[in-house]
Amino acid sequence: MKRLLATLALLAGLPIAQAAGFDYQLAPRQIAPATWVLEGAREDFSFANGGRIVNTAFVVTDAGVVVIDSGPSRQYGEQTVAAIGRITDKPVIKVWITHHHPDHFLGNQAFARKTLGALARTITDIESDGKGFNENMYRLVGDAMRDTEVVVPTEALTPGTVDIGGHRFELLALDGHTAGDLAVLDHTTGVLFAGDLVFHERTPTTPHATIARWLKSLDMLEALPFKHIVPGHGPAAADAAPIRQTRDYLKWLDGLLTQSAAAGLDMTEVMRLPLPKIFRQLAVIDAEFPRSVSHLYPAAEEAALNDSSPRRKP
């Protein structure tokens, strides 16, 4: 029967691998006691990676497993559950979504709805933008999104501390990358799950960014007593280097856009400006920098125009 199905697939011109779904090859890496990270590729979305460009994580507590972000698709979420099952037989009791970008929440289907939590603003943004994000992800990564649908978190998280199975988690309600950015500090292990407020060796994305507020959030994160940091994208670290790298890039980007607008450059001219050597090393810089210009430059131009407008007399 297997040989017959394979023959029929070949005759139909269909890849046999589709029958098994997309394999994300998730390999949990332990970075601290009871704490594992599923590290994403430092790439842009593609059919080849299925959207696995995000870091997700889980903490095994005495009461059950706490998951940080569910990933980019139903299949990713299901394979996360399977990966957790290779580490522990404890159930998943919490899934905390750091923000509303699609690679962080479209794996929600794999988890019981009662376990899904996010900041209230994130819930609102998933309700309004989730369907469009999901449809766009199908175009970006193809069959890896098969059967993925938007599942909105049911629990609105509030800032503060919560004790779960011998771990003391601090939930921080921040913003800047989006209007609602959740960061989680596990005081028991010293691991800070920073979401997309922090990127490491990968260019930050800015479709919903407010840089001034983002920089304030980074200052708050750096002041926390963490021992390890898990960025939203890029390798985990045992120091504040990812925070500083993200801050340096955002300050440079903001300054460049402000100066370019004051000089009267148009958007295409800004996109062609040479990049500093220190940032040339960042993954996907050639794609993300022009995107950031398109996201942020209109506001910089408006601010420059307002600054140059004659002031009205009182």
| Pairing status of strand 191-199 against strand 116-119 | unpaired
Q: Is the dihedral of CA 120, 122, 126, 129 positive or negative?
A: positive
pTM, whole model, 2 decimals? 0.91
Contacts 24+ apart (CB under 8 A), 243-247: 243/194, 243/198, 243/218, 245/199, 245/200, 245/201, 246/197, 246/198, 246/199, 246/200, 246/204, 246/218, 247/215, 247/218
Q: What is the pLDDT of residue 17?
A: 33
Q: What is the DSSP letter of 164?
A: E
> 3-state class of 166 per DSSP?
coil
One digit per residue, the tens of pLDDT, for the chain of length 314 reads 434 333 333 333 333 333 369 999 999 999 999 999 999 999 999 999 999 999 999 999 999 999 999 999 999 999 999 999 999 999 999 999 999 999 999 999 999 999 999 999 999 999 999 999 999 999 999 999 999 999 999 999 999 999 999 999 999 999 999 999 999 999 999 999 999 999 999 999 999 999 999 999 999 999 999 999 999 999 999 999 999 999 999 999 999 999 999 999 999 999 999 999 999 999 999 999 999 999 999 999 999 998 865 543 33
How far apart (Å, rounded) are the C-alpha atoms in residues 171 and 124?
18
The answer to whether the beta carbons of residues 202 and 185 sit under 8 Å apart is no
DSSP assignment, residue 120? H
DSSP SS3 for 185: strand
Domains of the chain in sequence order: 22-240 (3.60.15.10)
Position 307 scores a pLDDT of 81
Q: Determine how β-strand 167-174 pairs with β-strand 160-164.
A: antiparallel
pLDDT at 308: 61
Strands 155-157 and 160-164: unpaired
Q: In what order do the strands lie in the sheet with 160-164?
A: 160-164, 167-174, 181-186, 191-199, 228-233
Per-residue pLDDT, 309? 52
Bridge partner list, 118: 97, 156
pLDDT at 11: 31
Distance of alpha carbon 196 from alpha carbon 2, whole angstroms: 44
Any idea which residue has 């794996």 for tokens? 107
C-alpha 104/C-alpha 70 separation (Å) is 6
